[in-house]
Every structure is written in C-alpha cells, then in structure tokens.
Amino acid sequence: MTMREIRVGPFAYEILWDAGEAAKLAVEMKESALIAGVKLRDMQIVIDPSFPDDRTRNSVLHEVLHAALNAAGLNLDAEPNGITEEDLVVTLTPWLLMVIRDNPHLVKYLQRGGD
C-alpha cells in the first residue's frame, strides 16, 4: 500500500510519490538530489520512489518532523541562539506521537525492513 496522505497534528499532508516532482523540488531548494521534501505551503510531502526503501523511510520521517516543527510554530532559523536540544525534544514529542497515533499506515511503512 502506498500512502497518499498523513496527518501531522490537525493538518493533512498529501503524499506525492513522484521522481519528477522531487527533482523539481531539489532544484527549488538548490540541492543536487532529493529523496523527499516537504512543501509546507502546499501541505505536501514529495518522495522520489526510485531511492532504496530504507533511505526513503528515513527521509519520510525526517520530512514529517519538519512538518511537525512548522505546525508547532517552532522556527529554529528565527531564533538561532534561543533553542536548546531539550526545547526541540519537548516540542517534537507530542507532535510525533500524534503522527504515529493518527497514521498507523505510516508506522507500518517505517517499520518495514529490507523487503
């Protein structure tokens, strides 16, 4: 089963499994390649399905964490001297828990091994 949507707190993010869209996003972000990326304004997570599953799973969770930080209103770039690791953990914990609870299909996807 390929995920089409996940929830990050109260927000629904569309999942786009599209190598072409991932390549476009990489250019926008000035990256040479992109496994996955989040488009916060469009509420989308773009994934290049041509990468190995283990790298893709890691990247999907990475992008979910970016979405959670955004939903929580935490902007690390705006306050480079005021955020500690503890602040980040305290902020992310409830959001990650909500994502896991609201998206059992995401948890199953991330738990898959080298299949």
Quote the pLDDT of residue 99.
92
* Per-residue pLDDT tens listing for the chain (115 residues): 478 999 998 999 999 999 999 999 999 989 888 999 999 999 999 999 999 988 888 888 888 988 988 888 876 666 666 777 678 878 888 888 889 889 999 988 888 865 4
> What is the extent of the structural domain holding 73?
5-111
Residue 101 CA, chain-centre distance (Å), reads 16
Quote the pLDDT of residue 97.
84
The domain total for the chain is: 1
Q: How many CA atoms lie within 13 A of 41 on its CB side?
A: 0
Quote the pLDDT of residue 51.
93
C-alpha pair distances (Å), 104 with each of 7, 75, 97, 114: 10, 28, 11, 19
